[in-house]
A and B are shown apart, each in its own frame.
Chain A
Amino acid sequence: MPRRALNLIPHAVLILAILLFALPIWIAIAGSTQDSAAIARGEVSLVPNLSGLGVYRDVLVNGSAGAGPVWRALLVSAGMALAIAFGKIALSLPSAYAVTFFRFPFRMAAFWLIFLTLMLPVEVRLIPTFQVMSSLDLINSFTGLTIPLIASATATLLFRQTFLAVPDELVEAARIDGAGPLRFLRDILIPVSGANIAALFVILFVYGWNQYLWPLLVATDPRLDTVVISIVKMIGVDTATEWNKVMATAVLALIPPVAVVLLMQRWFVKGLTEGDK
């Protein structure tokens, strides 16, 4: 085969992959604008019907069979994702700073304790964690939704990795300039780690937005339904599923995390691959 034609193969495969990746989303976008009954008959078209865009206003305000208005679910999701992302950063940054820049008794023990949480995903301690939450009277509260997910080792490890890569000379220069530990943290370390913090924010935002099992368990109050919970409830209604509304909600639920990942792509990819290893 001529060299030129051979060079087209990677493009062809990659374009095919992109189309396959995008197909489910496109189906949801196109389907959301069509008539629910037509979809239920299996007559979904891949061409969006622009006059059907009103469905988005409809689900936002009224929701769909099986779940409440989507605007509130989006708000809960956003609140949860932001609380988890900022909470984790606020908690992990100081603890990573402490284990990297200081020597204190039981430092390694504390570090291992935090590290251990990597081995305890919420799925393996589901019921006991639920019991702790109920004894703290945090069931069906926003606090209960977020707090147990805020403590985790991932962010601490990523920050530690970032901090270890800060050149010693920078710390020394700051010390000679007279900066104490808190001043160094505020004036030098946090600004210098800006890109990594941004990357971590993306990872944590997506993590928070995508939670399913924990909200399912701890928040039975429909007013605390996240958008992910809502949509699973919608498709679970077996008889009168309003398919166009399900699809519209799916699109709405995907926009924020996908937007965050794509907008912050550069930092996110760098932070993810440099930090995790």
Chain B
Amino acid sequence: MERRTLFPGRLLPALLILPQLVLTVVFFLWPAVQAIKSSLEREDAFGTSTEFVGLDNFTDLFADPLYRAAIGRTVVFCACVTAVSMGVALVLAVLADTEIRGRAFYRTMLIWPYAVAPAMAAVLWVLMFHPQIGLVGAWLNRMGIAWDYKLDGTQAMALVILAAAWKQISYNFIFFLAGLQAIPKTIIEAARIDGARGLRRFRTILLPLLMPTVYFLLVVDLVYAAFDTFATVYAVNGGGPGQSTQTLVLKVYLDGVVNANVGASSAQSVVLMAGVIVLCALQFRFLGRKAVT
């Protein structure tokens, strides 16, 4: 899409766009190029010299069973977070979209978790599920269920998934509700006259018309689950117990910052970059080029 009416001139627009470009190059492109560069290099043990090693960091990476396990774990984590947050949000949006009283109230009460930081989501869920002090965690233990996410990897995974999904429900809810409200009332009325009711109407009319929103959120949620949840996972257990909640983003941080293994961490960064690019390309395909051109 282009505008019909334009202003003449070249210098002014160049000046207007320059600050943004400078920051983009210095803090985005340059580091990205550096990441690619150092993913192809290796430092010696004393950090005094680096040599070019080609794709060695990558072959090492994919040969590492710990990394491969982290990939699998990340896939499970992302899939669960996305499925839970989208599923719950869709149900709530459909209910809130029906002509019931208090719709505005429900919307207000359901969107506030959007404002909760991923790290704060972790804190709130820890306060609920802490094995000793958490209302729910302590209760589980009193009921004879051995609940301790600090010891049990599966429980830790379940907790971070729930905390991460909980925070994202609001965002999905906002979009689903907007998507549902954008469907012309006349189409719904036509479907009613055709006799489509309840679930059938949802499945045959609403859901197909909502698919653009579904695809959009799918990509947004996957990106959220893959990257933004660093804070959630890190704040709950720092990736533990063991490696049980170490997703790929956590590994980039732990290997690069904590263990200072720059080459391996950079290779992981490049792998993640490739992942985002694939997700963005998917979004492009699903939504056409509408968002960009």
Q: Do A and B share a direct contact in the complex (Cβ within 8 angstroms)? A: yes
Q: Which A residues form the contact surface with B (CB < 8 A)?
A: 7, 10-11, 13-14, 17-18, 21-25, 27-28, 31, 39-42, 44, 46, 91-92, 94-95, 97-105, 107, 110, 113-121, 123-132, 147-148, 150-151, 156-157, 161, 163-164, 168, 171-172, 175, 180-182, 184, 206, 209-213, 217, 228-229, 231-232, 235, 243, 246-247, 250, 253-254, 257-258, 260-262, 265, 269, 272-273, 276-277
A22 to chain B, nearest CB (A): 7
Contacts of B38 in A (CB 8 A): 127-128
Q: In the complex the two chains form, what is the Cα distance from A276 to B283 in whole Å?
A: 12
Q: Which B residues form the contact surface with A (CB < 8 A)?
A: 1, 3-7, 9-10, 12-14, 16-17, 19-21, 23-32, 34-35, 38, 88, 91-92, 95-96, 98, 100, 102, 106-120, 122-128, 132-135, 138, 166, 169, 174-175, 178-179, 212-213, 216, 223, 227-228, 230-231, 234-235, 249, 252-253, 256-257, 262, 265-266, 269-270, 272-273, 276-277, 280, 287, 290-292
Contacts of A41 in B (CB 8 A): 132-133
Contacts of A99 in B (CB 8 A): 13, 17
Q: Are A128 and B7 in contact (CB under 8 A)?
A: no
Q: Are B291 and A157 in contact (CB under 8 A)?
A: yes
Contacts of A130 in B (CB 8 A): 257
Which applies to chain A's interface (DSSP): helix, strand, loop or mixed?
helix
Which of B102, B124, B223 has a CB less than 8 Å from the CB of A250?
Answer: B124
When A18-B109, A147-B23 are in contact, do A231 and B31 touch as well, CB less than 8 Å? no
Q: Are B111 and A119 in contact (CB under 8 A)?
A: no
When A114-B20, A262-B108 are in contact, do A42 and B227 touch as well, CB less than 8 Å? no
Contacts of B228 in A (CB 8 A): 121
Contacts of B108 in A (CB 8 A): 262, 265
Q: Are A25 and B124 in contact (CB under 8 A)?
A: yes
Contacts of A115 in B (CB 8 A): 292
Which of B32, B116, B179 has a CB less than 8 Å from the CB of A254?
Answer: B116
When A126-B252, A181-B7 are in contact, do A17 and B92 touch as well, CB less than 8 Å? yes
Q: In the complex the two chains form, what is the Cα distance from A156 to B194 in whole Å?
A: 44
Which of A25, A42, A126, A250 has a CB less than 8 Å from the CB of B256?
Answer: A126
